[in-house]
Amino acid sequence: MTIPSALEHKPPVRLSTQDKAGLLETLEVELTKCGGGQVWLFGSRVNMAAKGGDIDLYIELNQAIENKFAFTLQLSIALDKKLGERKIDIIVKAPNTRDSALHQIAKQRGVLLWRSPTR
């Protein structure tokens, strides 16, 4: 599997090279299963002056999702297996879910980590 290099030309983020690779690989596998999308890292991990902090992910799916909770749980489990137990917050937006101010803030202030390949 080829890991997308979405981070190569983006602003720096506070993630190790190993964590970046693990995130990208897991996101590609899990999001491809449900039609793809885009993922932003936001919160303290995009602030180079901050220390510590959890990993905050905002995910926009390309296709409607039947059960947002089940998708989020499945992704959390996959990330735990890949990265080890970490505090990871996941916010999901799909075409069939309502938009919120938090979605807009995460997208505007975040750094795009991964995007489905265009067909």
Transcribe the chain into DSSP letters. Answer: -PPP-TTTTS---S--HHHHHHHHHHHHHHHHHTT-EEEEEEGGGG-TT--S--EEEEEEESS--S-HHHHHHHHHHHHHHHH-S--EEEEEE-TTS---HHHHHHHHHSEEEEEPPP-
Between 36 and 5, the more confident residue is: 36
- 17-114 CATH pick, 3.30.460.10, 3.40.50.2020, 3.40.50.11540, 1.20.1630.10: 3.30.460.10
- Taking only the tens place, the pLDDT of each residue in 46-69 is 877 777 788 999 999 999 999 999
The pTM of the full predicted model, rounded to 2 decimals, is: 0.86
Would you kindly state where each structural domain of the chain is located, as residue ranges? Answer: 17-114
